[in-house]
């Protein structure tokens, strides 16, 4: 069946560095992907909608210069957390839109 692969699954880095998270659709093309953020013991909050070949659409309150999204191909969307700080530590999950399959998530810890 359709699978969404997310990488890395876990990353720890120092404050001030940038971290890139990849989300791939393995056996189907995904023109639209979604990026969610999940705080501990809380729900998933939509951060942005990633559209292949065009600019991402960000939800209110999400800094687009902080969370850079690139969707350059039909099978890959990337989320780059720029100049990460401890408050950016969270669980980030991507999903394709059709079918709505989720990646396994990336746990980001900023020291």
Partner 1 sequence: GNSVTQMEGPVTLSEEAFLTINCTYTATGYPSLFWYVQYPGEGLQLLLKATKADDKGSNKGFEATYRKETTSFHLEKGSVQVSDSAVYFCALRRASQAGTALIFGKGTTLSVSS
Does the footprint of partner 1 cover residue 89 (CB under 8 A)?
A: no
Looking at residue 55, what DSSP letter applies? -
Residues 22-41 that bind partner 1 (CB under 8 A): 32, 34, 36, 41
In the complex, the smallest distance separating the C-beta of residue 103 from partner 1, rounded to whole angstroms, is 6
Q: Which of 17, 29, 42, 73 binds partner 1 (CB under 8 A)?
A: 42
Does the footprint of partner 1 cover residue 104 (CB under 8 A)?
A: yes
In the complex, the smallest distance separating the C-beta of residue 41 from partner 1, rounded to whole angstroms, is 8
Residues pairing with 67 in the sheet: 81
Please say whether the beta carbons of 49 and 57 come within 8 A: yes
Does the footprint of partner 1 cover residue 75 (CB under 8 A)?
A: no
Does the footprint of partner 1 cover residue 7 (CB under 8 A)?
A: no
- Give the integer Cα–Cα distance in Å for 15 and 92: 17
Does the footprint of partner 1 cover residue 82 (CB under 8 A)?
A: no
Does the footprint of partner 1 cover residue 103 (CB under 8 A)?
A: yes
Which residues in 1-111 belong to E strands, given as ranges? 4-7, 10-13, 19-25, 32-38, 44-51, 57-58, 67-73, 76-81, 90-96, 106-110
């Amino acid at each position: 069946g359709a699978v969404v692969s997310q990488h890395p699954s876990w990353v720890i880095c120092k404050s001030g560095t940038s971290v890139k998270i990849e989300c791939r659709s393995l056996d189907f093309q995904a023109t639209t992907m979604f990026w969610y953020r999940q705080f501990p013991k809380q729900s998933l909050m939509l951060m942005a909608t990633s559209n292949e070949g065009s600019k991402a659409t960000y939800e209110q309150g999400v800094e687009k210069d902080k969370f850079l999204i690139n969707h350059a191909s039909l099978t890959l969307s990337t989320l780059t957390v720029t100049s990460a700080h401890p408050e950016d530590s969270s669980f980030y999950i991507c999903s394709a839109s059709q079918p709505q399959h989720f990646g396994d998530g990336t746990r980001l810890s900023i020291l």
